[in-house]
Amino acid sequence: MTANSGALSDIRVVELGQLIAGPFCGQLLGDMGADVIKVEPPGAGDPMRDWGHGEAKLWWEVVARNKRSVSANLRVPEGQEVVRRLVEHADILIENFKPGTMENWGLGPDTLHALNPRLIIVRVSGYGQTGPYAGRAGFGGIGEAMGGWRAIVGDPDRPPSRMGVSIGDSLAATYGCMGALAALHARKRTGRGQVVDSALYEAVLQVMESMVPEYVVSGHIRRRSGSVLEGVAPSNVYPCSDGEYLIGANQDAVFGRLARAMGQPELAADPRYATHVARGEHQAELDTRIADWTRTLTIAALEALMIEYSVPAGRIYGARDMLADPQFAAREALVEVESPRWGRFAMQNAFPKLTETPSAVRRPAPGAVGEHNDEVYRELLGMSPGEIGRLRAAGAI
């Protein structure tokens, strides 16, 4: 554990959510210094403890870093009362249950704000807390589909694809975090907390650029286009003699530099390629020209040329490449964490970087469900050992 100098070091968060959308919001706040108290159901805890690939299930180690774990059974009155007592000491509460669940547990906003009017409640759900779909079950992939993402990802002759990460959940969590930070700022003026309502499909919709207005104004429907964006050229993955390399030279001046790097400066003045619109109209033939050139080069030789001519380009990285790259090392983009269960290993650091109040990975993910019960319940809530024992025996914590 390292010292906490983060921007939110005076903020306490109670995290009730499970899986990704709620816990990733808690991870972001914890990285920025907040004291995040993760409330898990007694026994197995958050299902994220069992998620991951390979022999070691390490997803939990990332999403639960910088958190303390307490256990509470939200389905029984005694466990609900424990949460209400925690809320009295909290600045932010995060939950990502189906709308209505918190109200059924006696933990709805009206109840919690009566206990703590300054509380900010982040609610992440599939469709938001209102509207005809509010009561439907929703996962990140469903939000990606409804928000427009899935329709445009993949090859045009195949069904919609998905990213290899849970982008819908992460986006909704990120907007939940942004909303919490805005609400903290507003609280300085008003003295009151509020509800942050982050819907999965709306978080995805927010990053869909001009998809809707293009359709409304001109009837254009964006479609799946594989590894390119239609009309944006050249910007693609190109073959080399020893692999693949990504080049993004779709701005006029940058394309001129690429043409010079290719030894074909005349391409920049060719009417088919001289402007953004023209290059988009001749995208396929331009990509073919570039690919015919790149496949004569190794990745290293092509990269040297792109650096020399200042053309945005880069290798396609996996974990092994990240661990070996000097840019990652220089900026400490990866950080080593010591886990009691898994030993020492690397994971992504905390971003973005703040110069005065840096974010950090200060503590590893809690190993056991309720690992910090005594610490939190005794020191924060003033519970006696006997009271904690009675709650534990009753299955409430």
Residues with a known catalytic role = 169
Specify the DSSP element, H or E, that contains 14. strand 12-15
| Residue where the block lists tokens 């958050």 | 46
| Beta bridge partners of residue 12, listed in sequence order | 35
Contact 236, 247 (CB under 8 A): yes
Task: Quote the CA–CA distance of 139 and 40 in Å, as a whole number.
Answer: 20
* Integer Cα distance of 32 and 360 in angstroms: 7
Task: Please name every residue paired with 40 in a beta bridge, in sequence order, or none if there are none.
Answer: 71
d(CA 135, CA 145): 18
Question: What does the block give as tokens for 144?
Answer: 């990606």
The string over 39-61, giving b where at least 16 C-beta atoms fall within 10 Å of a residue's C-beta and e elsewhere, is: bbbbeebbebbeeeeeeeebbbb
Query: CB under 8 Å, gap of 24 or more: what pairs does 204-209 form?
Result: 204/143, 204/144, 204/146, 204/147, 204/148, 204/149, 204/167, 204/168, 204/171, 204/172, 205/147, 205/148, 206/171, 206/175, 207/171, 208/147, 208/148, 208/149
